[in-house]
Amino acid sequence: MFGGLVRRYQHQSEELGCSMNFTLFVPPAAAAGGAKVPVIYYLSGLTCTDENFTIKAGAQRKAAELGVALVAPDTSPRGLGIEGEDDSWDFGTGAGFYLDATSPKWKQYRMYSYITRELPAVVRATAPELDVGNASIMGHSMGGHGALTIALKNPAAFKSVSAFAPICNPTQAPWGQKAFAGYLGEGWESAAAEQYDATELAKRYDGPQLPVLMDNGTDDEYLKTQLHPWAFEEAAKGKLALQSRMQEGYDHSYFAISTFIDDHIAFHAKHLGAAA
């Protein structure tokens, strides 16, 4: 695709205790036999798999042009046989929320550790032409929440972070409250605020001024009820190098993502040292 390769892998995850898929886009620069190419991780939203971004976002053209690789993991463990894992579209299968569950029933839902530890190691072993140590991260909706929280908790691991319509303050949003109550159990309010809420993390952040790009659409039906970007903007003042954009007429869909994806790839490529 655009001179590069889309490669889909399956591996047995030690963190999650099941088989997991992830998709790579390896740009043509990686096949030229020169220096290793940097990596951008993309975290998808509720109900998605590793394939939604790969098929719908149109990210490969700009990634090929700028010489960056794309890594798209799945959104949750699958097929664990946990009672109720397939009962809701916004909890369980397809809705791992990029946290490490502490509720005994959901103890295998360890997407935070999978994304931050296991997946980079698997990518490094699978694709040695990629420079996994030179990485950025982005995501959409639940995946935007994941990208922001993971970057804020691990600022030394990522050169930049971006998000499309992220769940910015999930302790104050129905999606987040449902996920945290189920995965973290009793006392979830304080645990979630300390570890998995981007707005709360930004309030306490004292690391380097991480570059952040955030896009939201004025016609996003979830903007005021689930996303709360203004809370994150306020918390990030003076702490993060945040560029927050409100896109007139755009909604929560991949139409918005595919429209602005080139901006996000170029943003990350610049900070990864890959932009021309």
**From 228, 252, 268, 271, active-site residue:** 252
Is the pLDDT score of 31 beyond 80? no
**Cβ burial, residue 172 (10 Å; 0-12/13-18/19+):** middle
141 given a catalytic annotation: yes
Provide mean pLDDT across the span 74-96: 97
The contacts of residue 34 (CB under 8 Å, 6+ apart) are none
Query: pLDDT by residue (tens digit) across 39-79?
Result: 999 999 999 999 999 999 999 999 999 999 999 999 999 99
pTM: 0.97
Query: pLDDT by residue (tens digit) across 162-177?
Result: 999 999 999 999 999 9
**From 76, 141, 160, 162, active-site residue:** 141
140 given a catalytic annotation: no
Is the pLDDT score of 191 beyond 90? no
User: Which alpha helices (DSSP H) does 129-253 contain, by range?
Assistant: 142-153, 174-184, 188-195, 198-204, 229-236
- For position 275, what pLDDT does the model report? 55
Lowest mean pLDDT among 25-34, 94-103, 122-131, 204-213: 25-34
Sheet with 37-43: strands ordered across: 5-13, 18-26, 69-73, 37-43, 130-140, 161-164, 211-217, 241-247
Q: Check residue 19 and give left, alpha or beta (phi > 0: left; psi -120 to 50: alpha).
A: beta
Lowest mean pLDDT among 28-32, 80-84, 175-179, 266-270: 28-32
**From 131, 197, 215, 220, active-site residue:** 220
219 given a catalytic annotation: no
Per-residue confidence band for 276, with pLDDT thresholds at 50, 70 and 90: very low
Per-residue confidence band for 253, with pLDDT thresholds at 50, 70 and 90: very high
User: What does pLDDT average to over the chain?
Assistant: 96
Provide mean pLDDT across the span 232-242: 97
Is the pLDDT score of 205 beyond 60? yes
- pLDDT above 90 covers a percentage of the chain that reads 94
Is the pLDDT score of 195 beyond 60? yes
The residue whose two tokens read 């935070």 is 112
